[in-house]
Amino acid sequence: MFIVDCDCHNYWCSATVLEPYMEGLFKDMFIRGERTGPRGAFPHGHRPWFHPEGFARHDVNPVEEGDNYLIMKEKHLDKYNIDVAILTGDEPIEASTLANPYYANALCKAYNDYMIDYWLPKDDRFWGSIVVAPQDPHLAAAEIRRAGGHPRVVQVLVSHGASRPYGDPFYHPIYEACAEMGLPFAMHLGGQGGINSTPIGAGPSTFFWETHAILPQTAMTHMASLIANGVFEKWPSLKVVVIECGVAWVPSVLWRLDANYKALRKETPWLKRLPSEYFKDHFRFSTQPLEQPENIQHLWAALEAMDGENTLMFASDYPHWDYDDVNKLHVPPAWREKIFGLNALDVYTRLPRAAAQAAE
């Protein structure tokens, strides 16, 4: 079976790997300036919760930079016969939490150059995501146009934590650049500190485990906002990929959006279709972390209600603590080929279809 992993984190041992890709004031700030943690930590505004165990799997223990690839190759790529691994970095999306948009953009630019220069040549299975700092959409759009033309870059990536809902016209320069470069816009769980609004509607929760369970609230807001603000009428070819935000909540939100739109549609005359119709054409969700009810039929009913056969894409979240094993993903058997690889080919149009045919 052809397998595309849509969320494979390329780790580093120290963020100092970015130093050769920075220059001037921002390199000086990166080397000498204050940060959250010791030298080697990536600058960001930290969230108010700490993971009680740490984010990485306990069997992934790199000692030096080269180990990050070798361990990934052994414990994930080769072990599960991954055909395509879309690299999503790790800490770089946290640049969205910084108040200084120029520094945030410089950090993203350095990461993108590092990823293209260091990671993509290591393995033919690697395809890249370029990270942008959305707090200055014009700088983000310029970075998309600068780095997005690389033939092995397949998407633009931001954190799901943001200072305002992503449908806001403030962000539209980003979507214009994505459409121009033919790249999907992806948001990944993260960026919950600094300048970004708290992702919990009633205010910060207390414990990490409860917070991790309800973080999808922010993704709900972004999904509704992107639809309501007419982003897909302006850019009808744009695809939005939502990574690591859960999936079972999607049908209930779509039902509510459809019902309210039918009753009050005069408020957004630019919309031409039901919210659920925009969703099916433009949104794709990663499977990780897939909910685990006692009765699997309850989950499958929710997945069917969101057209999961066509809107879900496999993601492992390697090497995080809640990593999803290829062999244990509980989706309807008849959908597996689409979810594990074929749906990704429709979203990431730069991926070679010949690879899928060879795998078959």
Tell me the domain boundaries of the chain: 4-347
Distance CA 132, CA 104 (A): 8
103 within 8 A of 26, measured Cβ to Cβ: yes
pLDDT at 224 exceeding the cut of 80: yes
Supply the pLDDT for residue 55. Answer: 85
| SS3 of 123-141 | CCCEEEEEECCCCCHHHHH
Cα separation, 96 vs 114, in Å, equals 18
Average pLDDT, the chain: 96
The stretch 265-280 carries a mean pLDDT of 98
Tokens read off for 169: 């016209």
| Span 61-81, average pLDDT | 97
The confidence score (pLDDT) of residue 358 equals: 66
Contact 89, 111 (CB under 8 A): yes
CA gap 84, 154 in Å, rounded: 11
pLDDT of residue 80: 97
The overall pTM is greater than 0.95: yes
Superfamily of domain 4-347 in CATH is: Metal-dependent hydrolases (3.20.20.140)
**Percent of the chain scoring above 90 in pLDDT:** 90
Q: Tell me what percent of the residues of the chain surpass a pLDDT of 70.
A: 99
Mean pLDDT of 208-225: 95
Question: What are 94-149's pLDDT values in tens digits?
Answer: 999 999 999 999 999 999 999 999 999 999 999 999 999 999 999 999 999 999 99
Question: DSSP letter string over 188-231?
Answer: ES---STTSPPSSTTS--S-HHHHHHHTHHHHHHHHHHHHHTTH
Alpha carbons 87 and 75: distance in angstroms, whole number: 16
Predicted confidence at residue 355, as pLDDT, reads 66
pLDDT on residue 359: 65
Q: Does the pLDDT value for residue 36 go beyond 90?
A: no
- Report which DSSP code applies to 169: G
**Dist. CA 316–CA 51, nearest whole Å:** 19
Residue found under tokens 């108040």: 99
DSSP 8-state assignment for residue 325: P
Residue 174 has pLDDT above 70, yes or no: yes
| Average pLDDT score over residue span 303-319 | 98
Q: What is the per-residue pLDDT for 313?
A: 98
Strand partners, 61: none
Kindly state the greatest CA–CA separation across the chain. 59
Say whether the peptide bond before residue 134 is cis (omega within 30 degrees of 0).
no
